[in-house]
Structure 1
Amino acid sequence: MLPRLKQKFLQWKWLHLLVIGLLAVLLLWQTALLTWNKELKNLEEQATNELLLHVTALRGKLQKYDYLAELLTTKEDLSLYLKPDTDRDKLQQLNLTLDTYRAIADVSDIYLMNAQGTTLAASNWWRADSFVNQNFSFRPYFQEAMQGEQGRFYGLGTSSGARGYYFSFPVHYQDEVQGVLVVKIEIHAIEEPWRDPSGELLVTDPDGVIFISSRPEWRLSTLERLAPAELERINESLRYAGRILKPLPVQEKESVSAEAQRLSIRMSDDLPKDYLMLSQEMPEAGWQAHIIKRLDPVRKQVLQITLLTGFALVILAFTAFYLLQRRRVLQKQEAWKEEAHRALQEAHDELENRVAARTADLSSSNRRLLEEIQQRQQTETALRSTQRELVQTAKLAVLGQLSASINHELNQPLAALRSYAENARTFLARNRPETADSNLEQILELTERMAEISAQLKMFSRKSGEQLVPVSVQAACDYALRLYRNQLEQQQVEIEMDFPDQEVFVLADMVRLEQLLVNLLSNALHAIKASDRKKIRLGVTYQKETGQDWVKIQVWDTGPGIAPDQFEEIFDPFVTSKEPGQGLGLGLSISNRIAQDLNGKLIAGNHLHFRELHEPAKTAPVSGAVFSLYLPASYPETSQDNPGETHV
């Protein structure tokens, strides 16, 4: 009887365990499903808000230039340039005017076309891919404007191949449309702020071609595979310049809600990734904006909630088992309970002590970190102050080196002043005021010369500012040469200046640029002391590198050059090839630091030769050092005739 009861009890026990296990699985599945729907809804709301913000921003950028073409047609009488007999000088003046408007409005290009669609003037007239003399009558924006309407168009440029958005407006003459003015903006400027590691932003045309994308490899792809007839129609429109339009590698697509879809896209690393895509129409631009958010965070959250629920169920099961066992052996385990309680309390106390100790360690570490940050800030402030004082000290050191020359410059006028004053007194005593007046004029000229020398020293010793502004390179070089004029004349140094016809500007600080050029000129003078041929050349050229315009200022000399073992340490402090007492070795180190502060760079090297323009080709090579200073170019409105072109 007892074995049968025991067997029946075991059967009911296993049945209960099976039912509990099935309920636990059902609970976990429901938890995962509810979490998935909730997180997916949250992600959809977040994506909707982000898409609304991006669409609003995109509309704002397009509306910013919507009335620019119309405004320019009212500001300028463009019909004067549409006559067949318009001469080149007028069209060139219009080119310059359009380029000025382009720079002010911060757009890509502005150009004027006649009634036949031929471009007469453009802001990019000076570039190799200029629109001048090109015909764009096939573009829809031209055809719309010729019908008297404001035109809009987006596509790839036939000349540049870059993506652009075009705004056109008709040019009227005697109530007839005689031409079209077009304003073009580049699309890549719109994409720059679209960087989101958790998703992608797309803009497609009515055919589903991706025109704007935060992911470069998706541009000019299609959301779906297009039929051959549609591809042929798109190619005939020349909107995308005959580019091959491939579909995105979408493996799966399903609707999640009325506004959202789930996409599975195979990425460049051949690993498919799931996205949630929402779309919004932009009828005014002819576009449809999409935002694609990755579903990995949703899956991660579902996994975490499911694991937590499973863990809670395990804890609950162990708790139930513990309660059952506790009820069965309550009396036998009373003593063990007290002992376990004490052990648990001790463990709790030990844990609290460890937490308190760890908290104290973290607080101490935070205090030390704050102190270290304050010390670093103080050190950086002291370093900047020391650097400024070091530059000022270097200036005073140069003033000390120039003291003998300045003394000579001032002694000569002083001696002449004394002689002219004594002569004036003598002529006045002899009643010859005209001759005395001539001597007084000489005295005035000498005092002006002494004041000019004093003003140069005062200007050289002043401290520099912090803000970078457009600075004339020719003015800085002229100042450095005037400061060393006496030494150049005494040593009979030949100066060659290879400057552009127009004034060159860089973004710098006048005082620090003058200090840098003075240091380079001082080194060149020292290098050619023992040379048979004493010559210094200053050259200025434009140079374009890494998408930025630079001005290269070079100082050449005919000295012995730089030794190969000195190149690695030539810009280190207190490294000098001068004799003891001739310098501290700080000039090039300070010059290099000044170049870095001005967002430029200073490069030292040797040249094999440089020849005068009128010397015969058989002239023997001359070796020496050359220092090349690169500074960002600046184009003030008064000097921006042809930006980006090399003048030398």
Structure 2
Amino acid sequence: MVRAAPAPPAPQGAPRRWHQVRRGGFIATLLCLAALLVWGAGEWAEQSERDAQWDNLRRLGEVQALALRGVATRYNYLPFTTAQHPLVRQLLQQPSSQAVRDAANAYLQAVNQHAGSDMLYVMDPQGLTLASSNWDTPNSFVHQNYGNRPYFRDALAGQTGRFYGVGKTTGEPGLFVSAPVVDAGRVIGVVAVKVRMEPISDPWAQLRDPVFVTDERGIVFLGSVPSWLYRTSQPLPTPLVQQLQHNEQYGTGWTPRAVPWTLRPQDDPPGAELRLDGTGGKSYLAFEEKLPDLGWTLTVTADSRVVALARQQAWALATLASGLLVLGALYWQLRERRLAENRLARIELEQRVQERTHALQQAQAFRQSMEDSLLVGMRARDLEGRIVYVNAAMCDMVGYRADELIGQLPPYPYWHPDELDRHWNDSDTVLAGNAFPQGRENRLRHRDGSDVYTMFYTTRLIDGSGQHIGWMSSVVNITAQKRAEEQQQQRETQLQRVQRVITVGEMASTLAHELNQPLAALVNYAAAARALAAQGKIGPLRDSLEALSTQALRAADIVGRIRRWVRQHPESREPCDLSAIVEQSLELLLRAEARRQGIPVRVEQAGAPLSVNADRVLLEQVVINLGLNALQAMQTHQPPPGGHELRLRIAAEDGQALVQVLDRGPGLPPGIAERLFEPFFTTRSDGLGLGLNICRSIIESMGGQLQARNREGGGAVFEIRLPCPPPPRMPPRHDLRHCPHRR
């Protein structure tokens, strides 16, 4: 771009510079005086408002303290006066007399109603309430013991007691005043009155700012903010906390919690600043009125924002006044400057027109180059839907020239004939004011007849004055992406079809493999039954038929469990004794097969019975399958010097139950051991290659592991590891049926 030539400097002389310096100094002095005036006005207004707030708080504190003291001392006479009545002394001397109790209850009820107090009651020297004004209510004080209350202990010591706390029976707070009942110079009981403080505290809730009362320990027990009640304003020593909890002064479950504010004394009397905790917490002016006769402190507050508001108002007024003065002083300078500026304006205007014209030409050329290089199509329409602009990418996308598209109204020539309704609906929706900034997929028809898949992103077109003049759309060609997605979908469909075929084949192979063992047993038992029937041996024949029925049921059970397992349904888990499972596997097939091959079978039991949570039938099938594999491996192998043997070992190790199947066969060559558990891998000509793979899947579905390794001295070891169930939480002694803990 061509840079604008600098404007010629205006001629300046010494007199003009001197006048400018004087004007600058005058303006600076005037601004300093105005700032000083604004600051002084704010400080004066703040101090005046603060003094007024302190005066208001002082008067409010005196009024509230007088009202609080009046409510607190109104019934001081009542316990002492009641204690002088002969009926009260007679009740304490004859506590078991029902007639005296009834008379005392009626007397206390009448006195309480006449005086207007909350409760009036009499306690014996142990703190047990003998009579009460609320004797006929569900929350009667009668037979309640208040021996742990300080007001009872003070009166029992011969003094007047005063105590504010939460009622043990009703759960409602109040002020308790007590007096001793003296007979012949000896304290024989206590009379107490409960006074509710709500008449003085309820109006506080209507006040704009918080009001609260703390006791001599700094605990808030009365106030207009319920969430502050019974919280501490200062740390409490542990003995004092224990004493308060023993007295149950603020409820049964009371624990000390700090109030959500901080009280900071101010430099000038008479009050402090109360600031709520947290970021942006409010601040209050707090005035404390001591009540030494009650041991309480009344605190009244006022929002400190009132002081800040007064300062801000003063600043605003002072700023307005100062602004008027400054504006008046500057007005005459503006007139002089305007004359000089008008002279320079004509020169600068001509120069700016030339620079602006050149800049517009440069910007237009740059914008045109940028639009031509875009791969994203751009289309602009007016409010009626007429195309007013398209870039080169849009023209290449649909095969039409810009002059063929500009000025067109819907329907546009590139609309796909099979989706005209969709195009009309989208166009009407956008022209109605509902654009698609998130994108809208459309299929267009190229001029050569091919389909073009696009994404339209439409937003409002705004002119330089902010007026809505049409709609601008960005068009992205996604034809290649759509075709790639269609090809991917076709590949996924073919893959799913192949997976279904494989799954059906695996299930059929699994059923054939697992049913081979029960069916072999069925054939053997049927042959034995036929021979026994020919010989007329009814007893053995019945046993053979029963065993044959058992194997048939077992085959049905295997079919059902394998179906659930293939469908990934949860198997039936139950506590199983590993010794019983191994013995059942031997009885079903292994011992007979080993006897037929002349191979001895040895079982090594664990020191204690082992129990696991497993599917009994599937676990037996795994043991049978591993045992048959071991027998088949030894059948084709030359016997070692010690002879062949099939050994089944049950043990516990590291919180797991182990079942090991050991043989003296050829062992596991390295190339075969790595692929041993792969599906359809087998070293036998008549094998399917699914047995070990299915066994491992069954064991892993029970949370265990199936491992294989070579045995020392020749042969192989197949090891089943299953987790032991957790032991009972608090058994009297170790349960030997479970695996031992890791040592």
Q: State the TM-score bracket (shorter-chain normalisation).
A: 0.3 to 0.5
Relative to the length of structure 1, the TM-score reads 0.47
Relative to the length of structure 2, the TM-score reads 0.42
Q: Which protein shows a greater Rg? A: 2
